[in-house]
Structure 1
Amino acid sequence: MKVKIHRLFQYLLETVEAEPEAIVGFSLSESPKLGEFMGDLDPELPLDWNNRDFRGLPELRTHVLRQAGLDGVLTPKDVLITAGAAEANYLAIMQTLEPGDRIVVESPGWPQAEVLAQAIGAEIVRVNRREEDGWRLPLDRMRDVVTADTKMIFVTNPNNPTGDVMDAATLQELVQIADGAGAWLLVDEVYAGLEWDGPRAPSVAGMYARGITTGSVSKALGLQGLRTGWLICPDPGLVMDAVILRENSSEIMNIMGEVIAEIALRPARLAPAMEKARAEGAANLAEMNDWVADQEHLSWIPPRAGLIGLGRLPEGLDSDAFATRLLDDPYRTFLLPGSAYHEPHHIRLGVGGGAGVNLGKGLTRVAQALKDWKDGAWN
């Protein structure tokens, strides 16, 4: 079957030419400049593949294991460098699921797995996180729906888009559920490292023989443009399947992405970069919390990790209509409607992007739009 467009991407396509003056909902840290890496780049670097390993630069894969807390647990052979976490997810899902297989996904959650599973012809079962439960993943429901014919469980941790976090004990319970069914457990960790009220959870690739960890340098480090991520799995067959599919799609990693990501993940660089991202994220999150508290018609559960969360709109206000209206004068502000995550009564609020997104201006304009909307109509 053909891959069909998801609401999240459709909305981005529809609004890409809107030229907003502010963004409320930016999902990654402020991006560094290329000049910050120039001193560590070799001008004689061949712009071919890395000429060393189809799985990615060995030193980069070593850094990936270290930042995931898997150094000494797994080896670089268990890591494949990919074009972002999106490609890592794609490779694992496409090489694992077949028509009729069951995949269990969380909702709200990153929609990619559901889009791909639908194209494959797999059976999709959603496990709903509920706002009244703090957006926690309901493990009792997970136990009910993960049966012997479940091929894969796909979740994000920290959760994208609510910012909930499964701790080590919760993740271990999820591993036991997956193991009881012999299912793959894929955990997308793109926001790992930006936890606000507790430690980083362990990576599932180090906990379970069928555990798959994916991640990237996009969110916490703001290096989305590098398109560099990874897949980690202790199962050599799964990793080789991913290598084979990538050979027939993107083929090999881009050398500039590999090299700059390797520099960015060097311990001496990573620690201060993460400290900066956490400090800026925490400050912006505090501003967002104060702003939400001042809004008569908006509420949210602050994210426990990451840079985004879901804000509940007043009764009767549809997220698509609100987001579309915000793009027009006098607001000129972009945010993502909750319909992109099966939550049509919410909007995505985010605190990333640095000064360039004009967060303060955007919040002022969103507040004005909420005031301008009265009893189902705009003033």
Structure 2
Amino acid sequence: MKVKIHTLFEYLLETTDAAPEAIVGFSLSQSPTLGSFMDDLDPDLPLDWNNRDFRGLPELRDHILHHAGLDGVCDRKDVLITAGAAEANYLAVMQLLQPGDEIVIETPGWPQADVLARAIGAKVVKVHRREKNGWQLPLDALEDAVNAKTRMIFLTNPNNPTGDLMDGETLQRVVDIAAAHGAWLLVDEVYAGLEWDGPRAPSVAGLYERGITTGSVSKALGLQGLRTGWLICRDPQMVMDAVILRENSSEIMNIMGEVIAEIALRPDRYDKAMAEARAAGRRNLARMDAWVAAQPMLEWVAPRAGLIGLGRLPENMDSGAFARFLLADPYRTFLLPGTAYDQPGHIRLGVGGGAGVNLDEGLDRLAKGLRAWPG
């Protein structure tokens, strides 16, 4: 089995040394500094593993269940701490899929499951979200795609990268579709908590015995560098299989990631941080929406949740070529082309990152780049 590079990661690798002066499309909230956690850190903390529980700090797992609305539904033993949501997704896909199985995924969506499934030798079945329908998940198409051979359905909610949001009623129908064929249903919730249009949707781990919820502190809290995420599932064998595979990959969590994440998820601190992240997100999305409306060469469906969405370029304008054009002099502005999400006529727009991404300047340069595009 060989995992092949995806277009998204390939573009990131190719542009690592570009040193852009502005970023348009940053996908996470402004990151706090280590200093903001110092008063709560024990300087005598041993830098070994947590010495308490192989699945992660118990109090950290309790916080995760609480914020996901799973108190009394799921138990601490149902939670495994991982190296970000990416590792949680990896553990689930690699342990559940076998060659010849079918996995149903959404597009546009987070491409990780597609990459892993193809490496395993599973058949990938794509359900297409359409911009003309507000990027909503087409439930009838999903139902048609799922059959007795379907081993897993892999979705994101809020959707990454469009910002669409499935509500509880929609998610329950997805559960019913999965349950009708006994398929596993994995829902990546990395943007949960940043909902602009409606409340946070229920976590699938609480709705379905074969439901798997993954998430992390990366996006809403801006703590991507901690590499701390989680997997939640009520099926004990599924969680144990994930533990076994993690033993042969990252083995254990890094203690600093666990400890700082536990501090960040303490209810009083979490509530304050999320209020600030939501306020900044709403403010910046309003600015972005007004900016897009003023651009004659760009349209978008504003995200209902999260910090990113897809902007549509003029017809026949290739997003990969344009992204490279914008990254070069004189614009020096980074954005992700829609080719990273099977949407070559789009670019990713986002409002995360705080002052450090120089968003206003980036938008100004993007507007100039659109006008100067030689195509």
Q: Helix, strand or coil for the counterpart of 1:349?
A: strand
How far apart, CA to CA, are the structure 2 residues paired with 1:55 and 1:260? 16
User: Is 1:306 aligned with 2:306?
Assistant: yes
Find the counterpart in structure 1 of residue 213 from structure 2: 213
| 2:322–2:373 contact (8 Å) kept in structure 1 | no
Choose 311-320 or 257-266, whichever is displaced more.
311-320
What is the rounded CA distance, in whole Å, between the counterparts of 1:145 and 1:296 in structure 2? Answer: 37
- Matching of residues 110-259 of structure 1 within 5 Å: 110-259=110-259
Percent of matched pairs sharing the same residue: 76
- For 1:372 and 1:258, how far apart are their aligned partners in 2? 47
Post-superposition shift, 1:91?
A: 0.2
Deviation of 1:315 after TM superposition, in Å, equals 1.4
In structure 2, distance between residues paired with 1:161 and 1:132 = 16
Rounded to whole Å, the distance in 1 between the matches of 2:54 and 2:97 is 24
* Secondary structure class of the residue paired with 2:348: strand
SS at match of 1:115: helix
Equivalent position of 1:262 in the other structure: 262
Q: What is the total number of aligned residue pairs between the two structures?
A: 375
Q: How big is the shift at 1:234? A: 0.4
Matched, 1:4 2:4: yes
Aligned with 1:336: secondary structure? coil
What is the aligned partner in structure 2 of residue 371 from structure 1? 371
Q: Distance in 2 between matches of 1:317 and 1:175?
A: 38
* 1:72 shift after superposition: 1.2
Shift of 1:71: 0.9
* Corresponding position of 1:329: 329
What CA deviation, in whole Å up to 9, does each residue of 1:280-303 have, x standing for no partner?
011110110010000001000000
Matched letter for residue 297 of structure 1: M
Distance of 1:166 and 1:290 partners within structure 2: 25
CA contact (8 A) 2:154 2:186 kept: yes
Query: For 1:181 and 1:109, how far apart are their aligned partners in 2?
Result: 23
C-alpha distance in 2, partners of 1:226/1:297?
A: 38
- Say which SS state the counterpart of residue 304 (structure 2) adopts: coil
User: 1:66 aligns to what SS in structure 2?
Assistant: helix
TM-score where L is the length of structure 2: 1.00
Other structure's SS at 2:29 match: coil
Deviation digits for residues 128-174 of structure 1 (CA, Å, limit 9, x no counterpart): 00000000000000110100110000000000000000000000000
Gaps spanning 5+ residues in structure 2: where?
none
Runs of 4+ in 1 over 3 A off after TM superposition: none
Q: CA deviation at 1:246?
A: 0.2
Distance 1:343 1:193 in 2: 26
2:290 aligned residue: 290
SS in 2 for 1:331: coil
In the alignment, residue 361 of structure 1 is paired with which amino acid? E
Cα distance in 2 for partners of 1:244, 1:373 equals 51
Question: Where do residues 36-47 of structure 1 align in structure 2 (5 Å cutoff)?
Answer: 36-47=36-47
Does residue 87 of structure 1 match 2:87?
yes
Query: Partners of 1:330 and 1:299 in 2: how far apart?
Result: 24
Deviations 1:33-56 (A, max 9, x none): 000000000011000000011100
List gaps (5 residues or longer) in structure 1: none
Question: How many angstroms apart in 2 are the aligned matches of 1:305 and 1:339?
Answer: 22
Instruction: Give, in angstroms, the shift of residue 316 of structure 1.
Output: 2.1
CA distance in 2 between counterparts of 1:316 and 1:228 reads 40
Structure 1 CA distance for aligned equivalents of residues 114 and 315 of structure 2: 28
Q: Cα offset for 1:373?
A: 2.0
**Do residues 351 (structure 1) and 351 (structure 2) align?**
yes
Look up the equivalent residue of 2:234 and give its one-letter code.
P
Q: Distance in 2 between matches of 1:195 and 1:333?
A: 28
Instruction: Give the letter aligned to residue 49 of structure 2.
Output: W
Counterparts of 2:273 and 2:70, CA distance in 1: 20
In the alignment, the residues of structure 2 paired with residue 178 and residue 214 of structure 1 have an alpha-carbon distance, to the nearest angstrom, of 17
| RMSD of aligned Cα (Å) | 0.5
Supply the distance in 1 between the matched residues of 2:197 and 2:117 (Cα, whole angstroms). 34
Aligned equivalent of 2:340: 340
Instruction: Specify the SS of the correspondent of 1:17.
Output: helix
State the distance in 2 between where 1:334 and 1:245 align.
36
Deviation at 1:197, TM superposition (A): 1.2
